[in-house]
Structure 1
Amino acid sequence: MRKLLLLLAVLVLLPGPVLVAVGAVVVTSATSRAVCGPIVAGVPDALTATTADGVSVHLDRVQLSHAATIIDVGARIDGVGRDGILVALMAALTESRLRMLANTGAYPSSARFPHDGNASDHDSLGLFQMRPAAGWGSVAELMDPQYQAKAFFGGPDGPNNRSPRGLLDVPGWRDLPKGTAAQAVEVSAFPDRYAAYEPVARAILTAITRPGADASAPTRDEPAATAPTSEQVVFPLPHGAGRRLSGFGYRFHPIHQTTRLHEGTDYAAPPGTPVLAVADGIVSFAGPYPGAGNMIVIDHHVDGQDIATAYFHLLDSSFLVADGDQVRAGQQIAGVGSTGDSTGPHLHLEVHPGGFTKPAIDPEPWLAGQAAEPLSEARPAACPVGGPS
């Protein structure tokens, strides 16, 4: 079961004159802003990953706790999403190796704040090596990991009022290579450093936000505890886009040539036709799955009941969501395809009360009972994407 965790401060003994390092604290509560991106599920004790140029990087729990703070802050800011979080992780890995760094040479007072070490790069401080003299904030503010993450992301609600500019203030940042986007915020004298850390950032995001020990398949026995309550259920294809092919029940399988239970309903549609989330929810799986081809599973809470919906045979490279993303009813999540055990382009929809590993029920009466409405077009994501241009 996915849970948002309170990451307790971790005390670590470091060599040198600065002795105390305090890990990040991620606090989520019922009054927090809605999570619109990857959800922190837990922080491992350690992680080792390799940069794009073959350098092995070992990260401890303190560093990964700071990564969790960046993820959690980014997930609560409209327009950041998974891509923006990756850019931020790449920047923090490059600038500080995800350590909260004081700078006693420039600011002796910085040693009074929780930190993981001492640095001496001009007057830079913290995870992103931000400079008070450049207008990023005061020493006290920049020694706060959450403040630094908010400043890096920027945007209309950022603490710096877009000067210096954060990621959301960079025109067209989503169209830039992620290393270039990081440099646009950091304005480093070494602009090519950031791209090397993209594989490490991706490994961190996978380790911290994916549920369970085996992220290659949906194995949980119940939906995510954070699945939002949905007040609306919609049809999984736009109005007039699908034609019913085959319903729920036992049938002769056209590929396996045996009689078996068909656990969903098939709707024929042209390749690339938008596939829509039937209700508000949390993506618990997005990837290849035996027989289903490319599959997405979404956990919901509908009419007082936990429900998982599964969408099979999706078009290659059509995924618009990833594990841990929050979606809203009617949002496009992928496109119709013919991957896996399929004889032609169609959507196979399954409904599983209690979670994906529980028995499926007939989707058609369930949709009808929820008064599912066909939409004329896909809705935007739960949180707007893309920064100002």
Structure 2
Amino acid sequence: MRANRDMELPEDFWIPISLDTKNITSLSPFLVPQDHLGSSGLFYTMAAFMFVLFVVGTGINILTIGCTIQYKKLRSHLNYILVNLAIANLLVSCVGSSTACYSFGVKYFILGPLGCKVEGFLATLGGMVSLWSLAVIAFERWLVICKPLGNFIFKPDHAIACCAFTWVFALCAAVPPLCGWSRYIPEGLQCSCGPDWYTTNNKYNNESYVMFLFCFCFAVPFSTIVFCYGQLLIMLKMAAKAQAESASTQKAEREVTRMVVLMVMGFLVCWLPYTSFALWIVNNRGQTFDLRMATIPSCFSKASTVYNPVIYIIFNKQFRTCMLSMLGMGGGGDEESSTSQSVTEVSKVGPA
């Protein structure tokens, strides 16, 4: 009986478009395996990939939070945003990657429509917090190092406010699909859920939501990252030019440039696929495309739970030393360290 009720409401549950001219509306991703979208090998490969993301992403982000709790020298207010990033990554890993792993294993979204909304909302919320955290990290570094406000001192209250800012803005992006502006539906191979950015159902005003996300959750944070790191590089290059004879200054300038490139590339790898695909869909309504391609943006965004911690935390010398000590692989995590060492590498924008 329930299956019959579900089949009467395809617009609420699954994708009202075609794949290779074959209509898939009658094949609910909540009821039957989506074998028509790919081979069993493809689904199992994706399940294995999501399992790796879940294990590694969960482990590395829990380790980040655990190190911050254990070592006082990591509890700098400049590290608050890194912990905030770890919490957001943990949300995506524990909810998004684990759910996708299970669903790919059975080849359909077995948790049903309500589970789809919950998973889509929480994964989007964590992703948006992570996205805005990257922008806030860039802003913090620009503020602390370039000192555009002169003698302004970045205090713990400011760091907490920045963290709260990321959650407020993330809620502004994640809540609308629950209220009728777009919606959360299975995407790609129909084994994970996200905002509806590729169907032709005008009831949910998907086009306007996509443009909102592009401006609010890509253009603005990306512009912030590029501006802040650009100003930082200009300042460092001027310092390197003024101290051309200093080998340490030249080395620092090269290391920071490399880190900035990695940070910008990390942001683009995570969010450019979503942005590009969504904008293409909005501007090419009616064009046939392979739904399997819609899985790619989701994979890149979920993989950020691994590569963002590598870029922002493991490349951070102080965090790396404490992690190794916590794992019993080094003795550099001792509490008695000099005051100067208590300042996180975030303020240096790169490894020492």
Task: Please state which band the TM-score falls in when normalised by the shorter chain.
Answer: under 0.3
User: Greater share of helix residues, 1 or 2?
Assistant: 2
User: Greater share of strand residues, 1 or 2?
Assistant: 1
Length-normalised TM-score, structure 1: 0.23
- Indicate the structure whose relative CO is greater, using CA pairs within 8 Å and at least 6 residues apart: 2
Length-normalised TM-score, structure 2: 0.24
